[in-house]
Every structure is written in C-alpha cells, then in structure tokens.
C-alpha cells in the first residue's frame, strides 16, 4: 500500500493486521493480496443499525438531489470522471493489490469504470418523456421520467471499480441516491472511487458504501427494506436467485447481471488468426474470471487442427505471476475455493477422457496455469459449469444445426462469440444464439456505449448505453383533461 501516492484513496483502510484493530475481528474485515497472501490491511464493517441508518440518510439526501437540474448532476459526474482518470495509476494499483489482475488490465478497468461516469453524465440530460397524440378531443397526454428513489447495489470482486460505477453513475444521473455493498474481497477499490466522488462534490449521504462480514445480512436489509426502491446486483446466478426472491416481498425494482457460460465458435470459413486473437482476449482476461469470458470452444472439423495449433502457441506465451510485475498477463485466482473449483473441473474432465494439450501443471499459491483441453464432450462439468479460470475446453463440430443446439444448451444466456466471413451464416447464427450479447469476429465486446446484460438465468436489465439509465427511472403518465 506504500506505493499509493494519493493517500486520500486509502481513507477506509485501518492499520495492518498486527495492530489493535485485530483485537476486534468481528468489527473488521481483512483484505488480502491474492498474489502473495499478504494482508493489505482491514476496513471497519457496519453494524445492522449502521446499514439501516445509511438507508435513512440516503432517503433524505435523495429528496433534495432529485430537485437538482440534469446539468448540475452532469457537472458533478464529469468532475468525478476526471478524478478517476487523474488517479488512474493509483486506482489500478489498488485493484491489482486486492484483486490480482495484471496492472495493465487494472488500468484498463479504471478507464472502463470511469467511462460509465462520463457516459451517464451525458445521459442525465436525455431522460426524455413523450407527448402522446390523445385519444379524445379534450385531453392531452404525456409522460415524464422520474428517479426511482433510493437505489442499492451489490457488486462482485472481479471488476471492483467498474461494477460500482456502472451502477452508481446511472443512479446519480437519474436523480436517485445510492447505497452499495462492494464484494468483501475487494472493498478498497470501491471506497477509493467513492472518496473521489466526494472530492468531486457528490454529497456524502447521497452515495454511500456499507460492508458487513456476512454479505447475507446486507442482502436481507437491502431487499426487505421498504425505503429501498431498487436493487441492482452483479454476481452469481445462485445469489441472484436468492436476492430476486427476497425482493419479491417488497415488490422492488430489480436488475440482475448473473453468471454466464459463453460459447466461442469458429466456423470453417473463419479467419483463424483473428479467431485466435479473440479467443485469447475473451478467455484469459482477468485470468478467466469474467462473466463474459469464453467458457467453452466449438471449432469446426475443417479448421480444428489449425486452430488448436495456433491457439496453443499463443497460450504458451501468456505469463503467469504477480500482476504488479511487468509482462505478467495472468494473475492469481481470487481465493482457494476458486482455484479448487477450477482444478476439480480439469480433473473430472480428464477422468472422463479429455486431453490436456497445454498447461495443467501445478502452481503454488492461487495461480493456475493457462490450460487447453481437447476431446471434450458436451456433458462434462467443465462445459456445463462456469469455470471462472484460465482453462479452455474445446469441442469439435461439423454442422451448423448441431452447433446451435450445443451452444444454446445451457441455463445461461449472457455472451456468445462466433467467427465466420459468410454474411448469410452470420445473420442466421446471430439470430439463433440465445444470448444477450454476441461478439461476431470480435472477442472484446464491453463498452459503456452498448447495452450489457443477459437473458435466461443470466438475468435481466441492461447496464451502460441509453438503456442503462432507465433501470433507475420510473415512467409517469400525465393525462391533461378538460381542454376546450
């Protein structure tokens, strides 16, 4: 933590482990570096009473915030955006230290996270309603859009900054207040960006973070509290189901960005070099720990050997290690449970007949070697489950029909990727894939300007783009009568 120049970014951090803070473990949350296992420090947690109080303060703050003009909100958000970019190097280091991704990727995340603030600063001014041609002579009809009120969010550890800004920025732009709970593994990045929001002029009560040693406690309060009007969640489908059910009790507006199981498809007419580059980008970003990472590869018979050769040649170039070291492209996984799951999936696949063509060697700590598996079948756990690690299972296919059936054979529907040069096939396959996002001859699809989100058990609602702000707005219909 010594290398962070702007010390205000660490204001949430208590003293490191051996200090008096550890005497009261229940009230503190230790944050560790997954690359080294070293404790970075701890932050103090909130009691249930603190969380209720934060929600009540949030409701008061929202009432005055909703009266501000869109331009006033946009000005503050623009300042916040600029502060993230001004502190990009420090924020990236904090991400790498607590999350593990390589520094270059962490810098990319800061810019990506900041881009949502800039985008929604602009969208704040465009929350147009409609005037509607009336159905009788004496009436005039219109709609206005208004903020939903107090919005809450629960975010994951894999993008500790971008997942906060992708939710908080549209909420504030729309005129909502925001109470977020970052992932317990990566709170420091979240508290750092919120500190910058305060420096940009966001009132403290309007944008708050809370954290508790048991995420369930925060989830219960957010979902069941009647003051809270909205919950936005990014995380696993398992937890998404729980939160959706809990929100039913108060009929709360909900957005769910959940797990994925992205197919990565290469047809016989694809440009193989482009496909390999896309496969590396899509599979190995964040060591395979993104919900839109390619999870299973389908390669056409005619190009199978060529793809495998080139893909493996690119995979062996990846460098595993501490994300702070120059040249490292694959950092550690987030914790032992994640590593054990990935190793278990590889072992089970091999026991069922899969072949390791590259990788698969033991690594100490939380590191997993980038691994390619062939002779994989559709029924293996490694194809059915979200891997969340740097492992690519490859399946061979020969017809488009068989391919579409296998690609859609999952409860998930977040992202899919395919490579082809045939315009007819491109349209047919793009329309047939049951996914919220499809990369066509492209493995990196995330951007603030396009709608991010899934279908099926990958969730509902869209983030970013013009759709993103609607998640925090209600449409009110006004009917003007008695007009002569």
Q: Which stretch binds ligand ADP (CB under 6 A): 8-16, 139-147, 212-220, 455-463?
A: 212-220
**Cα–Cα distance for residue pair 203/343, rounded to 1 Å:** 46
Long-range contacts of 22-28 (CB under 8 A, 24+ apart): 26/213
- Measured from the CB of residue 102, what is the shortest distance to ligand ADP in angstroms? 19
Residue 139, both tokens: 């009436």
Among 72, 130, 216, 301, interactor with ligand ADP by CB under 6 A: 216
Residue 213 touches ligand ADP, criterion: CB under 6 A: no
Q: What is the largest CA-CA distance in the chain?
A: 82
Please state at what angle helix 400-407 crosses helix 423-432, rounded to 10 degrees. 30
Residue 30 touches ligand ADP, criterion: CB under 6 A: no
Using the 8-state DSSP alphabet, how is residue 364 labeled? S
312 has catalytic annotation = no
Residue 168, both tokens: 């908080």
Residue 154 touches ligand ADP, criterion: CB under 6 A: yes
Kindly give, in sequence order, each residue whose CB lies less than 8 Å from that of residue 348, ignoring residues fewer than 6 positions away.
380, 381, 382
Q: Which stretch binds ligand ADP (CB under 6 A): 70-78, 181-189, 416-424, 467-475?
A: 181-189
Q: State which of positions 437-466 bind ligand ADP (CB under 6 A).
A: none
Residue 211, both tokens: 């954290």
434 has catalytic annotation = no
Q: How far is CA 277 from the centre of its chain?
A: 22
Residue 242 touches ligand ADP, criterion: CB under 6 A: yes
> How many alpha carbons fall within 13 Å on the CB side of residue 415?
26
- Measured from the CB of residue 218, what is the shortest distance to ligand ADP in angstroms? 6
Helix or strand holding residue 262 (H, E): strand 262-266
Residue 390 touches ligand ADP, criterion: CB under 6 A: no
Q: 121 or 294, CB closer to ligand ADP? A: 294
In this structure, the number of other CB atoms found within 10 A of the CB of residue 79 comes to 17
Residue 335 touches ligand ADP, criterion: CB under 6 A: no
Residue 156 touches ligand ADP, criterion: CB under 6 A: yes
Residue 184 touches ligand ADP, criterion: CB under 6 A: yes
Residue 160 touches ligand ADP, criterion: CB under 6 A: no
Task: Give me the catalytic one of 257, 369, 386, 463.
Answer: 257
Residue 344, both tokens: 């278990």
Residue nearest to ligand ADP as judged by C-beta position: 219
Among 75, 236, 408, 447, interactor with ligand ADP by CB under 6 A: 236
- Measured from the CB of residue 153, what is the shortest distance to ligand ADP in angstroms? 9
Residue 180 touches ligand ADP, criterion: CB under 6 A: no
Residue 227 touches ligand ADP, criterion: CB under 6 A: no
Q: 46 or 118, CB closer to ligand ADP? A: 46
Please answer whether residues 332 and 36 qualify as being in contact, where contact means their C-beta atoms are separated by less than 8 angstroms.
no
Task: Give me the catalytic one of 247, 291, 293, 312.
Answer: 291
- The helix, strand and coil proportions of the chain, stated in percent and rounded to the nearest 5, come to 45, 20, 35
Please answer whether residues 414 and 458 qualify as being in contact, where contact means their C-beta atoms are separated by less than 8 angstroms.
yes
**Backbone phi and psi for residue 249, each to the nearest 5 degrees, phi listed first:** -60, -35
Residue 232 touches ligand ADP, criterion: CB under 6 A: no
Residue 235 touches ligand ADP, criterion: CB under 6 A: yes
> How many alpha carbons fall within 13 Å on the CB side of residue 99?
31
Residue 239 touches ligand ADP, criterion: CB under 6 A: yes
Radius of gyration of the CA atoms of the chain, in A: 23
- Measured from the CB of residue 184, what is the shortest distance to ligand ADP in angstroms? 5
339-378 footprint of ligand ADP as x/- string (CB under 6 A): ----------------------------------------
Residue 219 touches ligand ADP, criterion: CB under 6 A: yes
> How many alpha carbons fall within 13 Å on the CB side of residue 349?
33
Q: Which residues are catalytic?
A: 257, 291
- Provide the binding-site residues for ligand ADP, judged by CB under 6 A: 154-156, 181, 183-184, 215-216, 219, 235-236, 239, 242-243
């Amino acid at each position: 933590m010594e290398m962070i120049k702007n010390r205000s970014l660490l204001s949430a951090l208590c003293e490191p482990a051996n200090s008096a803070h550890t005497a009261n473990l229940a009230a503190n949350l230790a944050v560790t570096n997954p690359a080294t296992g070293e404790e970075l420090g701890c932050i103090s947690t909130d009691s249930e009473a603190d969380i209720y109080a934060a929600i009540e303060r949030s409701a008061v703050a929202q009432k005055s915030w909703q009266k501000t003009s869109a331009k006033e909100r946009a000005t503050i958000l623009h300042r916040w955006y600029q502060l993230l970019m001004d502190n990009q190097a420090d924020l990236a280091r904090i991400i790498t230290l607590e999350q593990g991704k390589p520094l270059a990727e962490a810098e990319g995340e800061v810019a990506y996270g900041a881009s949502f603030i800039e985008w929604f600063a602009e969208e704040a001014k465009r929350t147009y309603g409609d005037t509607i041609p009336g159905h009788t002579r004496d009436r005039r009809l219109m709609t206005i859009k208004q903020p939903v009120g107090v919005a809450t969010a629960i975010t994951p550890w894999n993008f500790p900054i971008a997942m906060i800004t992708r939710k908080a920025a549209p909420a504030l732009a729309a005129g909502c207040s925001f109470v977020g709970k970052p992932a317990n593994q990566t709170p420091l990045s979240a508290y750092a960006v919120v500190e910058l929001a305060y420096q940009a002029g966001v009132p403290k009560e309007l944008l708050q973070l809370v954290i508790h040693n048991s995420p369930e406690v925060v989830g219960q309060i957010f979902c069941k509290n009647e003051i809270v009007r909205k919950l936005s969640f990014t995380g696993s489908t398992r937890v998404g189901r729980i939160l959706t059910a809990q929100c039913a009790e108060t009929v709360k507006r909900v957005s769910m960005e959940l797990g994925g199981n992205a197919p990565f498809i290469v047809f016989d007419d694809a440009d193989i070099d482009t496909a390999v580059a896309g496969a590396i980008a899509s599979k190995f970003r964040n060591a395979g720990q993104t919900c839109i990472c390619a999870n299973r590869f389908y390669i056409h018979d005619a190009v199978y050997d060529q793809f495998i050769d080139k893909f493996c040649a690119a995979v062996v170039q990846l460098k595993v290690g501490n994300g702070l070291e120059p040249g490292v492209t694959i950092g550690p996984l987030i914790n032992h449970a994640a590593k054990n799951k990935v190793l278990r999936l590889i072992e089970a696949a091999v026991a069922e007949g899969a072949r390791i063509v590259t990788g698969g060697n033991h690594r100490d700590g939380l590191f997993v070697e980038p691994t390619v598996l062939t002779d994989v079948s559709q029924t293996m756990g490694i194809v059915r489950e979200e891997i969340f690690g740097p492992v690519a299972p490859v399946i061979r296919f020969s017809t488009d029909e068989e391919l579409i059936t296998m690609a859609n054979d999952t409860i998930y529907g977040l992202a899919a990727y395919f490579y082809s040069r045939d315009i007819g096939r491109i349209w047919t396959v793009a329309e047939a894939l049951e996914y919220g996002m499809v990369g066509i001859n492209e493995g990196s699809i995330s951007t603030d300007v396009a709608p991010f989100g899934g279908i099926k058990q990958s969730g509902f609602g869209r983030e970013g783009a013009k759709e993103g702000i609607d998640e925090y707005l209600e449409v009110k219909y006004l009917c003007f009568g008695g007009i002569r």
